[in-house]
Amino acid sequence: MRCILVRHGQSLFNAGETMEFDSDVTERGKYQIQEAALHVKEYMGMKDRFHTFKGFVSPYMRALRTAVPINERWGVPFLVDLRVGEWPEPVKTQKYTRLPYRYKEFVNFNWDDYPINGLDAEHRNDEIYWNDLKQFVKKMPEDSIVVSHMTTIQDLVGLITDTKDPRKKPVPNCSVTFIEDGELLFMGSR
C-alpha cells in the first residue's frame, strides 16, 4: 500500500486574517499548494505514475483548493469525503455554519456521497471521528492520496504506521507525507 498525505495550504483562518473557520487559502497558501503538487510529482516520478491512485479530500475550502493542482496536473480523481475532514475539537470552538455543496466550483471532484444541501459537521464528535477514520483506513485503496488537516493527517499516520503518539510531530501547512507498506518514508516540505 502506498499513501500520500498532504496538509492543506495556509488558510486565511490560519493566518489570522478571518474568523471564518472554513476559509480559503492565503497568497502564501497558493504558493505552498503549487510546491506541494511538485513535491508529490517528484516523489512519484521516481516510483510510478498516478493512474493507480485514488484521491480523498476534506470538504473544507482550504483542502479542496489544495487538491486542485494534484487533480488537474496529475489526473488523480478525488472523492470529497468527510471521513478525512477536520478533527472535531477545533470545530466546536468556532461559530459554525454548514459546509456547502461546492460542486460548481470543484466540478472535477466526485461529490456523489456528499449531501446537496451541505453538511453539518458540527455534530461530529471524537467517537464519530475515530470510527470514520478507522473505517477509512480499513477500506483505503492500495494507492491513495489524502488532502486533509494537521490532526487528521497525524492520526492517519498513527493508524497506518502503528505509530504511538503521532500528534507529537507537527505537520506544517502543505507538508507531504509518504507511507509505503505501513512504513513512514518522509514527512515534511520541499
Q: What is the distance of C-alpha 128 from the center of its chain?
A: 18
CATH of 6-139+148-175, picked from 2.10.109.10, 3.40.50.11540, 3.40.50.1240, 3.30.110.30, is 3.40.50.1240
**CA 78/CA 9 separation, integer angstroms:** 17
pLDDT at 47 over 70: no
**pLDDT above 70 (res 90):** no
Q: Which three cell numbers stand for residue 91?
A: 470545530
More confident residue, 120 or 128: 128
pLDDT (tens digit, 9 = 90+) per residue, 156-179?
A: 999 999 988 888 888 999 999 999
**Distance between CA atoms of 102 and 27, rounded to whole angstroms?**
21
- CA–CA separation, 142 and 106 (whole Å): 25
- The span from the CA of 58 to the CA of 62, in Å, is 9
pTM: 0.92
**DSSP secondary structure string, 19-85?**
S-SS--B-HHHHHHHHHHHHHHHHHHHHH--STT-EEEE-SSHHHHHHHHHHHHHH---EEE-GGGS
* pLDDT tens-digit readout, 49-78: 677 899 999 999 999 999 999 999 888 999
Q: By the 8 A CB rule, do 152 and 58 touch? A: yes
Nearest to 188 by CA among 173, 170, 176: 176
pLDDT band, residue 92 (cuts 50/70/90)? low
- Residue 42: what pLDDT? 79
Q: Domains of the chain: which residue ranges?
A: 6-139+148-175
Confidence band, pLDDT 50/70/90 cuts, at residue 15? very high
The SS3 of residue 78 is strand
